[in-house]
Structure 1
Amino acid sequence: MKIRDRLLLAAERQFAEHGALDATLTQIRDAAGASVGALYHHFPDKAELYRQVWAHALTDYQRCFWAAVGDSADAEAGVRAAVTAHLRWVTENQYRAQVLTSARPPGVRDSESNREFMRNVARWWRTHANYGAVRELDFDLLYALWLGPAQVYARGWLGGEIVTAPIDVAPQLADAAWQVLRTDRTDAQEERA
């Protein structure tokens, strides 16, 4: 593994365990087995290292999320798959998930990769809303209804307040998301079937 990757992984763990303010560059460097020079060669300061760790975690999360949604057969499958992917990712990537629940560094939301991800998800949603399968909602409200309960549960689990792993409650949270996001038209179609 390249030294830059080792530094990112070590920083991810240190930031997750100690927080961005309390994690030190010495801890990160020691955990990665890197020299002072190697650390500063790749990252000019702790703020940039944190930004890179956060952006890396976000990219990984978005890749998993979009793979679940983009490959879905219909709106219901996509809504459910997204919640399940979210909870699986958190369960399997605890350090990264902990980083993403921490303060977002400046500029990450405005990155081109984040804007592209948001455009893709919004386009997917609008397509299904136009067919009448899901409700037309402002994207921020949509996000809160779709993933809000899963995020609250995941935060509780990451914080040690909840014992049951997020992936183990995915069916219930996916069902709740679908119930709140589907349209009355979807209900009527199910009754006719």
Structure 2
Amino acid sequence: MEPAFERAYPGTRKARKRQVLSCALACFDEMGVDAVTIDTIRERSGSSIGTIYHHFGNKEGLAAAIYLAGLDDQQAWFETALGDAKSIQEAVTAWVRAYLEWVVANPQLARFMYHSRRVVAAGTSKDQLKGRNDKRYGALLQFLETGLASGKVRSLPRETYASLLIGQAENYCRAWLSGRVPTPPTEHIDVFAGAAWRAIAADADQQKE
């Protein structure tokens, strides 16, 4: 059972929901969201089609529930990681480390999230997705604003920071999850954290903050 589902649907009364989500995730990971049917998930989970529709609406609802649970779980990791950061550089390093560690700890869920964002973004959960993403970057953006005010961070279009901070790490994670590279992302935390900091630091001296 994915820890993310335990966090999103805690308690014994929601065990059936967690079971359905875990089985749906396995099906999506094996066959792809487009190829999976509700009947496939019903057979894997041992639930009735009525139960699945009652809890999640349809296949897209299931995919959205899985995706949002993953984002919430990531957010919990980010909040823990940023809690001890004393500077913007420490915050960037902690954020990148948390992201890479989460992917390694949750490879099946991470792979699903990379492949299924378009399904969630195009569906009825798109507003929830936007809210989760705003929250996801909120604490880090507070550090960035402090860094901007102090002159330690480059002034860039706000929407570019997330890509600069996590884009290279995300690309590597995708390659690792697909088997194109063998070394786990956590082996390269310093590399990607350093690259993220250099991408936004105001000048070379501040890269050694």
Q: Same fold (TM over 0.5)?
A: yes
Looking at structure 2, the residues matched to 66 and 103 of structure 1 have their Cα atoms a distance apart, in angstroms, of 24
For each residue in 1:8-33, what CA deviation from the matched residue of structure 2 results, as whole angstroms up to 9, or x when unmatched?
12112222222110122233223323
Given the superposition, is the C-alpha separation of residues 124 and 3 from structure 1 closer, same or farther in structure 2, using an over 3 Å criterion?
Answer: same
Gaps of 5+ in 2: 1-11
Deviates more, 1:143-152 or 1:38-47: 38-47
Which position in structure 2 is the counterpart of 1:73? 86
Q: Does 1:176 align with 2:189?
A: no
Task: Note if contact 1:126-1:136 (Cα within 8 Å) is conserved in structure 2.
Answer: no
The change in CA–CA distance for 1:131 and 1:149 in structure 2 (over 3 A counts) is same
- Pick aligned residue for 1:26 from 31, 39, 55: 39
Aligned counterpart in structure 2 of residue 46 of structure 1, from 46, 59, 68: 59
Query: 2:177 matched to which residue of 1?
Result: 158
123-132 or 100-109, which deviates more: 100-109
Work out whether residues 101 and 186 of structure 2, in 8 Å CA contact, stay in contact via their aligned partners in 1.
Answer: yes
Aligned equivalents of 2:26, 2:96: Cα separation in 1: 25
Structure 1 residue 110 and structure 2 residue 123: aligned? Answer: no
Structure 1 residue 122: Cα displacement: 2.1
Structure 2 SS opposite 1:102: helix
> Which amino acid in structure 2 is aligned with residue 154 of structure 1?
C
Q: Deviations 1:87-118 (Å, cap 9, x if unpaired)?
A: 11111101111121023213555323433334
Which residue is equivalent to 1:93? 106
Cα distance in 2 for partners of 1:174, 1:108 equals: 32
Partner deviation per Cα, 1:59-98 (whole Å, 9 max, x = no partner) = 1122212322343121111111111111111111011111
Deviation larger for 71-80 or 59-68: 59-68
Structure 1 partner of 2:75: 62
Residues 1:17 and 2:30 are matched in the alignment: yes
**Is structure 2 residue 165 aligned with structure 1 residue 123?**
no
Identity of aligned residues (%): 31
In 1, Cα distance between equivalents of 2:21 and 2:66: 6
Checking the alignment, whether the CA contact within 8 Å between 1:7 and 1:32 is kept in structure 2 is yes
1:24-66 superposed Cα distances (whole Å, 9 cap, x missing partner):
2233223323222322221221111111111111111222123
Query: Among residues 71, 74, 82, which one is paired with 2:95 in the alignment?
Result: 82
Runs (4 or more) in structure 1 with deviation over 4 Å come to none
Task: Give aligned pairs, total.
Answer: 190
Alignment partners' CA distance in 2, 1:135 and 1:154: 26
